[in-house]
Structure 1
Amino acid sequence: MAFSYRFLDDVAVADLAFEATGDSLQDVFVAATGALIDAMADPATVGTAWEQKVEREDQDPAALLFDWLSDLVYYKDAAGVVFSKVDLHLVQSGDRWRLTAMVHGEPVDPAKQALRADVKGVTKHLYEVTQHAGRWTAQVVVDV
């Protein structure tokens, strides 16, 4: 499993952008998830008292990633939590992709956690998921 992400400083002035890459589509999902979590808070400062299972399915992997990342932003706002880790599995069955994840985190506590950007949502601006020469890439811009 080889994946990475990097924040893109020159893509969106008022927002936050990142590029996630991986040898497989699952690797890109893991990298993009890591980037989003890292953008919100330092995961090393966040505990695991809160858990949420998430299952999603879609024919289009780009739409699935968009919805998945949007789920994380929703849980941050609705449950008032930030995240420390995610156990994520992505499986293709026929022409559909199925994501199953267990999200771990805890309620926001500025005294304990190194909080970063307050991500408001995932945008479609410059959003893309591509495969080139056997390597997957996702470019994501989030509203902060």
Structure 2
Amino acid sequence: MGSFIVRVLINGLALWIASWLLPGMDISTSATTGAVANAGITQGSDTLGVILAYLFIGLIFGVVNALVRPLVKLLSLPVTILTLGLFTIIINAAMLYLTSWLSSYTPVHLTIDTFFWTAILAAIIISIISLVAGRIPGAGKR
């Protein structure tokens, strides 16, 4: 269970960095800003809301990667072998796009403007960050 929480934190961090680097990727909430402003909520809680939004999308992304990605990788194995593994980037982008679609049914939305380039670059960025963060001692599986 602790490993899954660490994976969600890493996914949230990777999604934040990808959305910071790529202008076509954004995470937003459907909460009305007027109600938040009228409630007297300060800037600090707005930052907490943004952090929770990224963690929520990281959770959705983790569930998609845990449940859907193995099946897609198995079904696309011949194409992956034929492209010498480069099709894995397309699979990662598709999982990101599936996360975007699933998040459209939640209060927190991941939006990607164009599937091909933004999702491909985001998939590469997220993969690199996950690879580096997975190598940190204590972040890996026990």
Q: Which has the higher strand share?
A: 1
Normalising to structure 2: TM-score of the pair? 0.29
Structure of higher RCO (CA pairs closer than 8 Å, 6+ residues apart): 2
Higher Rg of the two aligned structures: 2
Q: Which has the higher helix share?
A: 2
